[in-house]
Amino acid sequence: MKFAVFGVLAGTAGLVAGVWLPAGQAGVVGAAVLALCGGAAARNESALSDRRQERERAAAGLLTKDAHGGLPRVREVQDPVLVGIHPYQHEDGDLPESRWNTPPYIPRDIEADLHAAVESGGFVLLVGESTAGKTRSAFEAVRLLAPDHFLLSPRNRDGISSVLVALRIRRRYLVWLDDLERFLGPGGLTASALGRILESGSTVVATVRTPEYDRFGDHAEAVVDRSDHEVWRDGRDVVRRAKKIRIPRRWSPAERERAQSYRNDRRINRALSASEAFGVAEVLAAGPELLEAWQNAWSPGAHPRGAALVLAAVDVRRAGMHEAVPVSLLERLHEIHLRNRGGSPLRPEALEDALAWALRPLGHTGASMLVGEPATGLRAFDYFLDTLDLEVVPDESWDLILAAARPRDALDMGMVSLLESRHDRAERAFGVAAGAGLAAADVAKAVIMGKTGRIDQAVVELRSIWESRRSSLGREHADTLDAHAELAYLTLKQGRAAEALELMRELLPLREARLGTDHPDTLDTHLQIANAIGRLGRPADAAERCRSLLGRFQRELGPDHIDTLDVEARTATWTGKSGRYSEAFDLAEEVVRRRTAVLGADHADTLYARGRAVAWLSAMELHEAALERARGLLEDRERVLGSDHLHTLHTRRQVARLVARVEGFDRALTVWRETLDEHVRILGPEHPLTRKVIGLSGFRAEGP
- Residue with the bigger pLDDT between 585 and 23: it is 585
**138, part of any domain:** yes
The answer on 215 and 361 residing in a single domain is no
The model's pLDDT over 635-670, given as tens digits with 9 standing for 90+, comes to 999 998 888 888 999 999 999 999 999 998 888 888
The DSSP bridge partners found for residue 380 are 370
**537, part of any domain:** no
Longest dimension (CA), the chain: 123
The answer on 296 and 182 residing in a single domain is no
The answer on 86 and 16 residing in a single domain is no
What average pLDDT does range 582-593 have in this prediction? 96
Confidence (pLDDT) at 5: 36
The answer on 129 and 206 residing in a single domain is yes
Closest CA to 598 of 222, 265, 236: 222
What average pLDDT does range 499-513 have in this prediction? 96
Residue 102 sits at φ, ψ, to 5 deg, of: -125, 155
Confidence (pLDDT) at 227: 46
* CATH number of the domain encompassing residue 241: 3.40.50.300
Confidence (pLDDT) at 99: 42
Residue 68: pLDDT over 80: no
Amino acid at 376: T
Buried-state track 357-386, b at ≥16 Cβ within 10 A, e below 16: bbbeeeebbbbbbbbbeeeeebbbbbbbbb
Closest CA to 450 of 408, 419, 420, 495: 495
> What is the rounded CA–CA span in Å between residue 139 and residue 514?
37
Residue 519 CB contacts under 8 Å (≥ 6 apart), including other chains: 511
pTM above 0.75, yes or no: no
Domain that holds residue 121: 74-273
Residue 354: pLDDT over 70: yes
Confidence (pLDDT) at 569: 95
The answer on 99 and 210 residing in a single domain is yes
**592, part of any domain:** no
> What is the rounded CA–CA span in Å between residue 334 and residue 397?
9
Nearest-Å Rg of the Cα atoms of the chain is 31
The answer on 99 and 9 residing in a single domain is no
The answer on 696 and 627 residing in a single domain is yes
Residue 60: pLDDT over 80: no
Residue 598 CB contacts under 8 Å (≥ 6 apart), including other chains: 218, 560, 565
> What is the rounded CA–CA span in Å between residue 418 and residue 424?
9
Q: Is 105 helix (H, G, I), strand (E, B) or coil?
A: coil
Q: Is the torsion defined by CA of 253, 258, 263, 269 positive or negative? A: negative
Confidence (pLDDT) at 10: 40
Residue 189 sits at φ, ψ, to 5 deg, of: -85, 90
The model's pLDDT over 382-398, given as tens digits with 9 standing for 90+, comes to 878 877 777 788 999 99
| Chosen domain end from 220, 246, 273 | 273
The answer on 310 and 342 residing in a single domain is yes
Residue 104: pLDDT over 90: no
What average pLDDT does range 488-498 have in this prediction? 94
Residue 246: pLDDT over 90: yes
**579, part of any domain:** no
Residues 533, 542 contacting (CB under 8 angstroms): yes
The model's pLDDT over 255-272, given as tens digits with 9 standing for 90+, comes to 888 888 888 777 777 777
Residues 348, 304 contacting (CB under 8 angstroms): yes
Minimum mean pLDDT range among 46-60, 132-146, 195-209? 46-60
**Structural domain count of the chain:** 4
Buried-state track 148-173, b at ≥16 Cβ within 10 A, e below 16: ebbbbbbbbbbbbbbbbbbbebbeeb
Minimum mean pLDDT range among 85-99, 373-387, 512-526? 85-99
Predicted confidence band at 542 (pLDDT cuts at 50, 70, 90)?
very high
Closest CA to 183 of 376, 443, 412, 407: 412
Q: Is 79 helix (H, G, I), strand (E, B) or coil?
A: coil
- Residue with the bigger pLDDT between 638 and 285: it is 638
Residue 87: pLDDT over 80: no
| Chosen domain end from 246, 273, 300 | 273
Residue 334 CB contacts under 8 Å (≥ 6 apart), including other chains: 305, 308, 309, 311, 312
> What is the rounded CA–CA span in Å between residue 416 and residue 224?
10
Amino acid at 444: A
Residue 373 sits at φ, ψ, to 5 deg, of: -125, 135
What average pLDDT does range 466-471 have in this prediction? 94
The answer on 38 and 119 residing in a single domain is no
**493, part of any domain:** no
**27, part of any domain:** yes
* CATH number of the domain encompassing residue 696: 1.25.40.10
Residue 100 sits at φ, ψ, to 5 deg, of: -90, 145
Instruction: Say if strands 123-128 and 243-246 run parallel, antiparallel, or are unpaired.
Output: parallel
Confidence (pLDDT) at 20: 33
**654, part of any domain:** yes
The answer on 158 and 302 residing in a single domain is no
Confidence (pLDDT) at 171: 73
Confidence (pLDDT) at 274: 62
The model's pLDDT over 1-43, given as tens digits with 9 standing for 90+, comes to 433 433 433 443 343 333 333 444 444 444 444 444 455 444 5
Residue 190 sits at φ, ψ, to 5 deg, of: -90, 175
Residue 245 sits at φ, ψ, to 5 deg, of: -130, 120
Predicted confidence band at 704 (pLDDT cuts at 50, 70, 90)?
very low
In eight-state DSSP terms, residue 249 is: S
Confidence (pLDDT) at 51: 53
Closest CA to 303 of 370, 349, 363: 349
**522, part of any domain:** no
> What is the rounded CA–CA span in Å between residue 596 and residue 617?
20
Minimum mean pLDDT range among 197-206, 303-312, 382-391, 685-694? 382-391
The DSSP bridge partners found for residue 203 are 174
The answer on 196 and 244 residing in a single domain is yes
| Chosen domain end from 370, 398, 426 | 398
The answer on 211 and 344 residing in a single domain is no
Closest CA to 680 of 694, 668, 667: 694
